[in-house]
Amino acid sequence: MNPYLKHDEWCIIEEGFNPANTRASESIFSIGNGAMGQRANFEEQFSGDTLQGSYIGGVYYPDKTRVGWWKNGYPEYFAKVINSTNWIGIDIDINGEPLDLAKCKVEEFRRVLNMKEGFLERTFTCENSSGVRLEANVKRFLSIANPEVGAIRYNLKILNADVKFCIAPYLDGDVQNEDSNYGEKFWDEVERHADVNQSLLVTKTRKLDFHVGHAMRYSLYLNGQKVVAESNLLDKHMYAGCKLFLNLKSGDEVEFYKYAAVISSLNHEKGMFPKVLTQLLDLAISKGYTQLLKEHSEAWNEIWNHSDITIEGDLAAQQAIRFNIFQLSQTYTGKDERLNIGPKGFTGEKYGGSTYWDTEAYCLPFYMITHGQSVARQLLLYRYKHLGKAIENAQKLGFTDGAALYPMVTMNGEECHNEWEITFEEIHRNGAIAFAIYNYVRYTGDKNYLANFGLEVLIAIARFWAQRVNFSDEKGKYVMLGVTGPNEYENNVNNNWYTNYLACWCLEYAQKVAEYVKENHAEKYNALTAKISFNRTQEVSKWRDIRENMFFPVDTKTGIILQQEGYMDKEQILVKDLDPKHRPLNQKWSWDRILRSCFIKQADVLQGMYFFEDNFDLETIRKNFDFYEARTVHESSLSPCVHSVLAAKIGNIEKAYELYLRTARLDLDDYNREVREGLHITSMAGTWISIVEGFGGMRVKDNMLCFNPLIPTQWKSYSFKVCFRENILKVIVSKDDIAVINEEGPAIPLLVFGDKHTLAAKATLTVERKSGRG
Ligand code: BGC
């Protein structure tokens, strides 16, 4: 752990300059607007250790796959989210010496991420090597209201000398990724135009021909008066900007504004870039920094209105949940169905910025319940649009007849993960995609989605499972061989319970949805069956046979569901008995030792119990939770949240709280000492789930919202918002009762602690707590 940040309700605050934390802070203080994101790199030159990151949604690079031994079926490339043109750059030079905090004596340093209004602010006082002291305040944001615009205000005061001062705003396209497999550069210049008024740079990726365009303008004030300074152009390959010179007296104050426009060929015709960029800057300049910031803050206010969670009595938990909501909301806005949520969002290079099963299994509920149905639908449509590629992907692996295997990692629908045990074997991701459709329809009631898009995906997924199993004569059952479950600390296992269970569920759900669409949307059903040659009678009877005769491993002695066949052959050791010096296992043990051990990376059997809780009685959940949690090292950020929800379900509130804190402050306190690589964006959605589904006990059953809340002893009260169909509700849970306020929408039926109530429009329902749960 490395808890160096101050606790605060609405802000993340770093005080004091510790270069060892630079990369971590660059991740934590990242800003974004759904269309792009920016690590908290400094505007001015910095020669210390840093990971430069400016990322544009949907723009990626197919970096050549690098593996030790090539296997047939491997994808050719690993998609990388790429660091693109540096638009924040503002170099400062004093008497010929560049301002560089790595080389200055930093007297005061404070960095604040204001989550309420969505900006990043840095204040510092420093002395350079010639003894010139200055103080600075730098504030920037990437507009949520105008998603192709960013703005920076750089204020600076010279404290003790008369100096020759130079400020140089620029665009630098000569940037690299640290994780480039062969040290390759990804960008080429297309067009450059340096001018004192407006500089512009268009670059394109060396493969796939993505074009991105950046343009900038500025305004400069000295002691409150606008000035036109003497200037030089900065105009070289991949680099455009200008240098502005001033003679400053001790005590002079410089106020500098940089406006940037950022666009890509995903949204604009390549030939139109200069025109579009100029129009964007015209508009930005005409509004001005203060107005742009106001519109941006108002947009944030709107987001908080329907997504905020308050926690009374626990500042660390309060700050953490807002940080999670803030980061999720600035990573994905649902405005563009081609985009998705990478495990690191726009905060680092790791995981390639691509889409994983994390989206369906973890992120969907957060976006659906706080940002609404249309945002959630975009996430489903993303996969619908990739169906053709998922079918091709399955074909490459030998599957036929329209079977689809969605990729483990993707940018455009193609698989781009290249470890065989994951690419070929971690097939449970297919089930999560089907489950998301079910989850969406259960919550929103949008059954039309099934007829228009859902059924086609479900049939293709069901076809995959039907071909992936085989009948074992020895067992007299269907089996699924050579898989990796969610617990990636086991590879190539036979009959992973979760995968087998999920496959059967998919077969059943696809059958039910086919029947529903046939009965209720006959025309669409007929068109679809003709398009994909779906022979319902034949295929469904095969699906039923598989479901009814699937093998599920169980420990006959204890009745525990077995993660996979042979799990009990492993030496059974509990995590509590592991010497802490061995943790984290993935950094301390060889891979083969991990594979042979009983230790579990993340929820596996328990992931199934989380998804399908109604299919298990409480005693079964409790027994399996106690068994598996004790063997789980939670070395995936996705792990603690699912365990927290289940712990709350079985009434183990202390455990639920312990795991909640671990997921909520994972990045802020750097539990795994890796936040420098970027934030764990997708697991942040799990943090939100831990509160709403875990402590709040919120579920949807038979088209009705149900609440069965608990409250951790450390909290006085907590509240969360829920967009459910036509309503927006605010739920407040205290030690004594739960209050539900119907903020928007008509009267709504609710089930609270198992009793049915009707909550009138604008009314509040207060129900006294019933003790315990479980
Ligand atoms: C987890 C996967 C997850 C991936 C990206 C891995 O460490 O084991 O389940 O999809 O990270 O978050």
Please write the tens of the pLDDT for every residue from 692-748. 999 999 999 999 999 999 999 999 999 999 999 999 999 999 999 999 999 999 999
Best probe residue, ligand 1, of 406, 429, 430, 636 (max atoms within 8 Å of C-beta) = 636
Q: How far is the CA of 213 from the centre of ligand 1 (A)?
A: 33
Does residue 548 carry a catalytic annotation? no
pLDDT in tens, 419-443: 899 999 999 999 999 999 999 999 9
The per-residue pLDDT of the chain, averaged, comes to 96
Choosing from 43, 488, 629, 674, the catalytic residue is 488
**Cα gap 141→145, rounded to integer Å:** 11
Residue 580, preceding peptide bond in cis (omega within 30° of 0): no
- Over residues 341-351, the pLDDT tens digits come to 999 999 999 88
Q: Which atom of ligand 1 is nearest to the CA of 356?
A: 10
pLDDT score recorded for residue 2: 86
Q: What is the DSSP string of 545-563?
A: HHHHTB---B-TTT-PBPS
Question: Cβ(586)–Cβ(650) under 8 Å?
Answer: no
pLDDT at 771: 61
635 lines ligand 1 (CB under 6 A): no
Please tell me the chain's helix, strand, coil percentages from 3-state DSSP, rounded to the nearest 5.
35, 25, 40
Q: Which two tokens stand for residue 495?
A: 């009959």
Instruction: For residues 513 and 448, give the distance between their C-alpha atoms in angstroms, rounded to a whole number.
Output: 11
User: In which band, very low, low, confident or very high, does the pLDDT at 70 lie, cut at 50, 70 and 90?
Assistant: confident
Nearest CA to ligand 1 atom 12: 343
pLDDT at residue number 112: 98
pLDDT at 774 exceeding the cut of 50: no
What is the reported pLDDT for 711?
96
Determine what percent of the chain is predicted with pLDDT higher than 70. 99
Asked if 370 and 306 touch (Cβ cutoff 8 Å), the reply is yes
Cα 672 to averaged position of ligand 1 atoms, centre (Å)? 14
Residue 748: its pLDDT value, please?
98
pLDDT in the model for residue 772: 55
In short, whether 682's Cβ falls inside 6 Å of ligand 1 is yes
Cα atoms in the Cβ-side hemisphere of radius 13 Å centred on 667: 33
The pair phi, psi for residue 194, each rounded to 5°, is: -100, 135
C-alpha Rg value of the chain to the nearest Å: 27
Average pLDDT over residues 139-144: 98
pTM score of the predicted model: 0.96
Residue whose CA is closest, atom 6 of ligand 1? 636
Over residues 621-642, the pLDDT tens digits come to 999 999 999 999 999 999 999 9
Indicate the top mutation candidate among 81, 426, 484, 488 to test ligand 1's pocket, ranked by most ligand atoms within 8 A of CB. Answer: 488
Q: Whose CA is nearest to atom 7 of ligand 1?
A: 636
Q: Which range is least confidently modeled, 206-220, 411-425, 698-712?
A: 411-425
DSSP letter, residue 677? G
Average pLDDT (143-160) is 98
User: Which ligand 1 atom lies nearest to the CA of residue 602?
Assistant: 8
pLDDT at 773: 59
Q: Indicate the pairing of strand 54-56 with strand 199-205.
A: unpaired
- Among 360, 140, 165, CA closest to 250: 165
The pLDDT of residue 418 is 82
Give ∠ CA 525-531-533 in degrees, rounded to 5: 90
pLDDT at site 463: 98
